[in-house]
Amino acid sequence: MALRTIRTEGDSVLTKKSRPIKEMTPRIRDLIVDMLDTMYDAMGVGLAAPQVGILKRVVVIDVGEGPIVLVNPEIIESSGEQTGDEGCLSVPGMAGQVTRPNYVKVKALDINMEEVEYEGTELLARAFCHEIDHLDGHMYTELVEGELHRVTYEDDEEE
Ligand code: NI
């Protein structure tokens, strides 16, 4: 497995807009596999390509229900509201309160460039929003209500 370096807040790559994937290539397949390895190694629940320095619209997520790969993801429906702690592998050891929709439906392509749709509530809905924001150069820290606070490793859910 190949781990990639996770870029941290302050790196300008995290503020840039990512480009859509036009076709699947061996390089992008490798990127996706490396992103999954990197996310699991860092014990995160999600990772977006810009976090490893690649401005392409690719996201991986695993909230404990198995890996989800999203190529060119779009939120096509959302409803409800949840407010809770959110973290990010690019802001290690920190979390802050963010309000997100409680239900999100996403349309994307999978690793074979086949159309897929996912529905998520709670943590998965939060992860979809958080990771797709990364593809547009946005960090959760822009949305935090109140102050960021330190988290202990045990109760940490970093995206
Ligand atoms: Ni993040």
* Structural domain spans, the chain: 12-150
Among the options 86, 131, 158, 159, which is catalytic?
Answer: 131
The DSSP bridge partners found for residue 46 are 61
Determine if the pTM surpasses 0.85.
yes
The Cα–Cα gap between 157 and 159 comes to 7
157 against 48, higher pLDDT: 48
pLDDT bin (cut points 50, 70, 90) of residue 153 is: low
Using DSSP bridges, classify how beta strands 145-150 and 94-100 pair: parallel, antiparallel or unpaired.
antiparallel
- Residue 49, pLDDT > 80, answer yes
Helix, strand, or coil here: 42? coil
pLDDT for 91: 97
- Centroid of ligand 1 to alpha carbon of 67 (angstroms): 16
pLDDT bin (cut points 50, 70, 90) of residue 152 is: confident
pLDDT bin (cut points 50, 70, 90) of residue 1 is: low
- Residue 54, pLDDT > 80, answer yes
Q: Is 154 a catalytic residue?
A: no
Indicate the fold that domain 12-150 takes in CATH. Peptide Deformylase (3.90.45)
Helix (H) or strand (E) holding 95: strand 94-100
Residue 157's closest CA among 76, 98, 77, 75?
A: 98
Class of residue 115 by CB neighbours under 10 A (exposed 0-12, middle 13-18, buried 19+): exposed
- Centroid of ligand 1 to alpha carbon of 105 (angstroms): 19
In the predicted model, what is the mean pLDDT of the chain? 95
